[in-house]
Amino acid sequence: MFREFIVASAASWALLAQAPRVEEAQLRAHLPFLADDLLEGRGPGQRGGRLAVLYLETQLKALGLRPALGSSFLQPVKLLGMKNLVSKSALTFTGPAGPIPLQYTRDILLGSAAPLAQLRIDAPMLFVGHGITYEDRDDFKGIDVRGKVLLALVGDWPGQGEDYSSPSHFVGRWTYKLAEARRRGAAGILLIHSAGRVGYDWDVVQAGWGTERFYPDPPPEGAALQGWLSEEASRALFKASGLDFEALRLAADAPEFRPIPLPIYLKGVVNSEVRRFEDMNVAGVLPGTDPVLGQELLIYSAHWDHLGIDPASGKIFNGAVDNASGCAGLLAIAHALQHHPSKRSQMFLFTCAEEPGLYGAEAFVAAPPWPLEKIVADLNLESLNFAGPTRDIGLSGAEHSSLFESAARCAREEGLSVTPAKANPAKLFFRADHFAFTKVGVPAFSPGFSLTGGWDFPDPAQADLAKSFAESRYHKPTDTYDPGWNLGGMLQQVQFTLNLGQVLANDPERPTWKGGRPAFDRVPALGKLP
Ligand SMILES: [Zn+2]
């Protein structure tokens, strides 16, 4: 199969030698602009985000690309912003011995998927273990959870295997647990945070939930109250219930687990500021030259949004790596290709609202300007390497389709080795825009996306710098641009993506799934995720 693929595409591999080179000057120009304080962290529905959209649209026009959406470069995406008004909200957890003192932000973080200025909660609590229903696994055991506030562990049950991009791991994502609670008519759900299980600390949850939360508009119905409890706070709740948290957490791993009512009542009111607005996906097209293949489309994507300004500290989440780098990379590819069209058409897509839940990419695939069956693949640029040249490239996520073989060959042509796929409990496969394409059957991955490290740097100091991103910069105001960065690695990564794109945009054969497309349609349909 692999051999046939190579033979069939010999001509397109020959073309690769003439692929235009990406210029570092492009990265050096666009990255610091998009990460500048003046863009105020490119928050959804905020001025800095609108500036980013205007900038990207202007760049695509200046490159002579065609508008991707009729006569427009912009695709509006309807969103809902909900800000929990902490000082005007009060929630009390009452156990057998009276109220349990929990402190907002330190112990508990709340959101609400219902567009209500005021949400009243008056409900008993129910521990539902992992809170998962999938194939043979049912943590609910037919118990009616309507009107209850569920308490669920984050992460998977054990023994699910190491393929963290499989549908069974998707249902272990917290986003899916919120949706499951909603589908079952629960009054709310609180997730028990555990750094060991999700791969990030409480302060990352704080950054995402301590501020305005975003949902698609209209939002999904049900389970209005959503939130997180710290591990410590959860321990306190179980202790106040006379229950052993550690023992029950272990018990919840077993398939026989049944939900356990806690003798705790949650009562109070959550007041929120509700904001309805539109954000924009920005996209331009470089038309293909072949009358037949030109009807098909290869997409390069990157999200432009980040977390805006931290209302508590006033600090800007500049999002230099995440994802001004990806946008700069995409513009650099568009710049290099502007006078080098391929047989297939190529789209440069800058998505909005990725951070709150891939909403921009989901909206794109829900109303694609090209028929989905004409889209051959999506190559997504996410949080690029800022620490210098590497000897390798990670192809995680490509292994589901023939994209892997094409990518591996591109790597060899650029003198890069391929990082062996490794288990990734943080489930990054579900956490970048390529996943929205995968779900609807379009082969996609994010070349070199590797928040957990995995880059092979010749210099240990470079490796430490790369590691420092995951540890101390990711989704923090410290994700800022440093002019001293060696962008040699970013250049490699972007060139690699362009090269792969050239093969995919010229090869007569389209990428194909291995063993059929991943069965995300076997996951119970819950409608749009929160
Ligand atoms: Zn990102």
Task: Check pLDDT > 60 for residue 528.
Answer: no
**Centre of ligand 1 from the C-alpha of residue 142, in Å:** 38
Could you tell me the pLDDT band of residue 116, with boundaries at 50, 70 and 90?
Answer: confident
73-77, 272-276, 338-342, range with the lowest pLDDT:
272-276
Is it the case that residue 45 has pLDDT exceeding 80?
yes
What pLDDT, on a 0 to 100 scale, did the predictor assign at position 442?
Answer: 95
In this prediction, residue 453 carries a pLDDT of 47
**520 CA to centre of ligand 1 in angstroms:** 22
Q: How far is the CA of 104 from the centre of ligand 1 (A)?
A: 27
> Looking at residue 193, what is its pLDDT?
95
State the burial class of residue 246 (Cβ atoms within 10 Å of its Cβ: 0-12, 13-18, 19+). Answer: exposed
Average of per-residue pLDDT across 230-247: 95
What is the CA(382)–ligand 1 centre distance, in A?
Answer: 6
The pLDDT of residue 524 = 56
Expressed in angstroms and rounded, the spacing between residue 445 Cα and the centre of ligand 1 is 14
* 247-258 average pLDDT score: 94
At residue 431 the predicted structure's pLDDT band, cuts being 50, 70 and 90, is confident
Is the pLDDT at 63 greater than 50? The verdict is yes
Q: What is the pLDDT of residue 425?
A: 65
CA of 239 to the centre of ligand 1 (A): 38
Average pLDDT, integer, range 436-455: 81
Distance 450 CA to ligand 1 centre (A): 11
Ligand 1 centroid from CA 385, angstroms: 13
The pLDDT of residue 426 is 67
The model's pLDDT over 196-229, given as tens digits with 9 standing for 90+, comes to 877 788 988 887 787 788 888 987 766 578 999 9
Q: Which two tokens stand for residue 25?
A: 């000057």
| Cα–ligand 1 centroid distance for 409 (angstroms) | 27
Output the CA 349–ligand 1 centroid distance in Å. Answer: 14
CA of 44 to the centre of ligand 1 (A): 13
Mean pLDDT of the chain: 89
Question: How close is the Cα of 133 to the center of ligand 1, in Å?
Answer: 29
Question: What does the pLDDT look like over 494-515, one tens digit per residue?
Answer: 999 999 999 999 999 999 999 8
Element (H, E) at 26: helix 24-34
Where are the strands (E) in 330-457, listed by range? 345-351, 375-380, 392-394, 417-419, 444-445
On the question of pLDDT at 474 being above 50, the answer is yes
First to last CA, the chain: 40
For 255-297, what is each residue's pLDDT tens digit? Answer: 999 999 999 999 999 899 999 999 999 999 999 999 999 999 9
**What is the Å distance from ligand 1's center to 209 Cα?**
16
- Ligand 1 center to residue 52 CA distance, Å? 15
Distance from the alpha carbon of residue 23 to the mean position of ligand 1, in angstroms? 23
Say if CB 363 and CB 214 are below 8 A apart. no
Give 322 Cα–ligand 1 centroid separation in angstroms.
5
For ligand 1, the distance from its centroid to the CA atom of residue 61, given in whole angstroms, is: 25
Question: What 3 state SS string does 157-182 have?
Answer: CCCCCCCCCCHHHHCCCHHHHHHHHH
